[in-house]
Structure 1
Amino acid sequence: MYALFTQVIALMRVIMRSRSEQAYLELFSFIKQLAPNLQPVRIHCDFERATINALRRTFPSSDIVGCLWHFGVCVGRNAVKKQLSQLASDNDLIHTFIRCICGAPLLPATLIEEGVEEIWTEVVASGWGETLEPLFSYFRREWLPRIQELSVFSHPERTNNCSESDNRCLANFIPQNHPNVWTLIAGMVQLEHISWSDKLTLQRGKDVQFVGRWKTVANDKRKVRLSELLNHDQITPGRFLHEASWVNQGALNHGMKLDTKNDSDSDSD
């Protein structure tokens, strides 16, 4: 994906029959053959281990960063597995504690563990330690070893939702699931035509569709303000999670199959 002002343009689409690490490695190696000087500073992707391993082997100097939205969804789904979804829906305090975990990537990598453990101290003090211990253990086991790729603290993009949105746009032009190759190509042609029209519109200095929702702008301002307070030691990492994790509430609710009620980055970045 290529960012042009506030718009994102797909430079390549790949049809894959396998999602193994070897398959991704062959794909990324082919891209390197097409663009031998390609050395991306930062690569956004979801947390699929096969993808990340192949990216690290192909672009060893690039910063591999995960997706805030996908992380929140993962935590929400794990909460469902641990039978916490209904409890979180009925109990605002439980929902807040789980939401704070979902805000962990917003912290610098060096403060993620401290921030989550500060929340855990609050959980124990509130009397909900036994109930939430499995979820916090899941975070410590699965995510603490990956804090470098988890943190989006200093990155202008927090999610890879631009590529997800592009996939949804393509799906709108394809009238069926599992289309044949001709139907797929026809959908790509239609989407390419719209992308080219958008490019011409941008070159004329005009806006294409919308630049961003007001919620996205508000979330950005909130995160900047909280980051400044954190950098000046005016709030603790745990307090930062309480205040900043609203940004990812939509992802959590999506993962827990709850109605989204507040601000989130669900369709931003």
Structure 2
Amino acid sequence: MLENANYIYLDGTFSVVPELYFQLYTIHVTYLNHILPAVYVLLPGKYLVAYLFFKLSYRCVCIFLGKKQCLYKEMLQEIKNLAPNFDPPNVMIDFECGSMKAIRNLFPTSNLYGCFFHLCQNIYRSATRFGLKTLYGENESFAQQIRCLPALAFLSITNVIPTFDEIKAQFPVEGEPVLTYFEENYIGVKSRLSRPRKIPKFDILLWNVNTNTLQGQHRTNNVVEGWNNRFSSLMNCSHPNFWKFLKGLKKEQSFVDAQIIQADAGARQARRREQTRRETRILNLLNGPTTTNFEKVMALAQNISLKS
């Protein structure tokens, strides 16, 4: 399942792990239009992984704490040792630089996508950090201008920077710290003397979702966030002891195995009605020939939430 997946989704969760550990890092994969967990990794620190393996089922592997320290690259290498043909064509991840670098080094031909949900969260957190949370919540016009920044991700890559310049020209003064944050990290600051923009921390190719949206692919790893929430409910406490955690993980894997059987039988994962409606609105806006890119972004911003 892991070796044959066209898309994989990486994410971590924290409160469900036993006290000795830092986070549970999971790799979910596409399987017959379902997204299911294939690997569970217990990390004792943000950059540490383990070398002891426990087989949860013939489909999934759990990796536990060992004594050797290594980075994300070594974690992925150990997984690759277990699944030699593991070479994912497409990888969805949050904007964590260490894991991104590891994926690029180990899987240089993979297409790497930043999760759109995390992009929105990062922008909202920057607004909060600059003291704009109240203004964002009370002034819809201001909030729409802020949401225009992640909405740029829906445009074709060649249209992102010209449209950003249009947004910047009329952006509210109060929001300039957020605008600067976005430009530095996701666009690249314009150099003087007509030189090219500086390279941003996160390339436009990473966070652009135009192709995935038009092709009906996922823009986020929210399905993994949903799994995190479900597993947290299964644990029903923060930082359970190791044996309770292991028992819960085995129980969860039994549920996943049942989902695999359903997928093999032709079952499909249904989207919520509101999600389907929003997707239709977004596609209508992207395919509409009569509006400018700036107008598209303003309209797309109405279909985006930065907080959920």
Structure 2 runs not aligned, ≥5 long: 1-27, 49-69, 188-199
Task: Output aligned runs, 1:203-218, within 5 Å.
Answer: 203-206=264-267, 211-218=270-277
Q: Which residue of 1 aligns with 2:284?
A: 225
Amino acid at match of 1:98: I
Q: Residue 30 of structure 2 contacts residue 36 of structure 2 at CA under 8 Å; is this kept in 1?
A: yes
Structure 1 runs not aligned, ≥5 long: 255-265
**Does residue 197 of structure 1 match 2:258?**
yes
**Does residue 188 of structure 1 match 2:249?**
yes
Tell me the alpha carbon deviations over residues 8-59 of structure 1, each in whole angstroms, 9 at most, x when there is no partner: 2111110012223952111111122222222211100000111101111111
Give the Cα separation in 2 of the matches to 1:67 and 1:103.
Answer: 13
Higher strand proportion: 2
Moved over 4 A (4+): none
Amino acid at match of 1:104: L
Q: Residue 6 of structure 1 contacts residue 211 of structure 1 at CA under 8 Å; is this kept in 2?
A: no
Give the Cα separation in 1 of the matches to 2:154 and 2:185.
Answer: 17
Give the Cα separation in 2 of the matches to 1:219 and 1:38.
Answer: 34
SS of 1:154 mapped into structure 2: helix
Give 1:157 deviation, angstroms.
1.1
Q: Which residue of 1 aligns with 2:176?
A: 133
**Does residue 178 of structure 1 match 2:239?**
yes
Q: Residue 45 of structure 1 contacts residue 160 of structure 1 at CA under 8 Å; is this kept in 2?
A: yes
Give 1:184 deviation, angstroms.
1.0
Q: Which residue of 2 aligns with 1:104?
A: 152
SS of 1:224 mapped into structure 2: helix
Task: Output aligned runs, 1:26-41, within 5 Å.
Answer: 26-41=74-89
Give 1:6 deviation, angstroms.
4.1
Give 1:3 deviation, angstroms.
2.1
> RMSD in angstroms over aligned alpha carbons?
1.9
Higher helix proportion: 1
Q: Which residue of 2 aligns with 1:64?
A: 112
Give the Cα separation in 2 of the matches to 1:222 and 1:183.
Answer: 44
**Does residue 94 of structure 1 match 2:142?**
yes
**Does residue 14 of structure 1 match 2:46?**
no
Q: Residue 29 of structure 1 contacts residue 58 of structure 1 at CA under 8 Å; is this kept in 2?
A: yes
Provide the aligned length of Structure 1 versus Structure 2. 242
SS of 2:254 mapped into structure 1: helix
Moved more, 113-122 or 162-171: 113-122
TM-score, normalization: structure 1? 0.83
Q: Kindly, what percent of the aligned residue pairs are identical?
A: 24
